[in-house]
Amino acid sequence: MSAADAVAAILFLGVVLYAVFGGADFGSGVWDLLAGNARRGGAVRRLVDHSIAPVWEANHVWLIFVIVFLWTAFPRSFVALVGTVYVPLSFVGLGIVLRGAGFAYRKFADDLHTARLYGVLFAGASLITPFFLGMIAGAVASGRVPADGVGDRLTSWTGPTSWLGGVLAVLTCAFLAAVFMARDADRMGLSNLAEWFRVRGLATGLATGVVALAGIVVIVADAPTLAEGLTGRALPLVVLSGVGGLTTLWLLRTRRFVVARVSAAVSVGAIVVGWGVAQYPWLLVDEVTIADAAGAPATLTGLLIAFAVAGVLVVPAVVALFVLVDRGMVSGGEDRPAPVDHG
């Protein structure tokens, strides 16, 4: 494996981690949006606050990691990507900012009207951010991001594969969040909320599977390079993802929430890895390979060293945080809730 391939693999590891942990984080906002009015949705929103408050900032470390590795290791391709899809990227950035602000401020609102405003910002941004990230992924996968960065500013990211990617991203985030939140509710003895999320996890899991199966037609017609890879060397990962998804549905049906969370993460992680394997050796599909896009050898070596150091210093801390949260040993900030439910 070359240094460029190693850096690309590490970069894609960040994509996988963001898809799983950041995805569940975004999905919690989707359920916040769909929870209902103050009376019906108050308990759901309090659980969302409790569950993601300790980790929501940590989840976005992976996105920063991916961006830094991409522009440092593959600078020309980064410029080409940003130059072509800067419109959806702008929506992503705006969504992340508004989401964070809404989540942070709504718990300290002085009245119901203000709390609702911040709640709408948080929940709405939780929906649009993964949608536009999925559209960007679809643009790359369908070969619509040219190496020179002069792709059409609209049609490059609005093709059929982009729409499929956006819809699947939102459904996948909602599915992950429902599974994770069902586990949190069950751990805290909130059986009604666990059931609420269990039912929605089953529904979104089925919907995600249906859309993914229907999307095969879209990918074959619109992204032939990706389709060839998915039905070739990445096929075992596609099968693993499907098995993981079906297993998660069965585990939800039988209320085995702890194991369901693991199988859901495996299902999502496997299909994201499958995307990367199917796309290899392209960085920008049908335009630039990883080897051609790589920067200076010294830069790649420096990134590999930085990753090794981060693996020693950062990863254990992040793992410890998630373990402590899962065991209920880190407060979600519920000691100072909003004065009223955020309906």
Per residue in 9-58, pLDDT (tens digit) is 999 999 999 999 999 899 999 999 898 877 778 889 889 988 887 777 77
pLDDT (tens digit per residue) in 192-221: 999 999 999 999 999 999 999 999 999 999
Confidence of residue 337 (pLDDT cuts 50, 70, 90): very low
Q: Is residue 136 within 8 Å of residue 157, measured between CB atoms? A: yes
Q: Is residue 88 within 8 Å of residue 135, measured between CB atoms? A: yes
Confidence of residue 332 (pLDDT cuts 50, 70, 90): low
Q: What is the mean pLDDT of residues 95-118?
A: 85
* Burial of 243: CB neighbours in 10 Å, binned 0-12, 13-18, 19+: middle
Asked whether residue 111 carries a pLDDT value surpassing 80, the answer given is no
In DSSP terms, 288 is beta-bridged to 284
Model confidence, pTM: 0.91
User: What's the DSSP call for residue 151?
Assistant: -
In DSSP terms, 284 is beta-bridged to 288
Asked whether residue 339 carries a pLDDT value surpassing 60, the answer given is no
Of 23, 280, 22, 234, the closest CA to residue 141 belongs to 280
Confidence of residue 330 (pLDDT cuts 50, 70, 90): low
Asked whether residue 6 carries a pLDDT value surpassing 60, the answer given is yes
Please enumerate in sequence order all residues whose Cβ is within 8 A of that of 215, keeping only pairs 6 or more positions apart, or say none. Answer: 164, 168
pLDDT of residue 336: 36
Q: What is the mean pLDDT of the chain?
A: 90
Of 241, 226, 178, the closest CA to residue 16 belongs to 241
Distance CA 294, CA 300 (A): 8
Residue 99 phi/psi, 5° resolution?
Answer: -65, -45
pLDDT of residue 328: 67
* Beta strands 288-289; 282-284: pairing state: antiparallel
Asked whether residue 278 carries a pLDDT value surpassing 80, the answer given is yes
Confidence of residue 343 (pLDDT cuts 50, 70, 90): very low
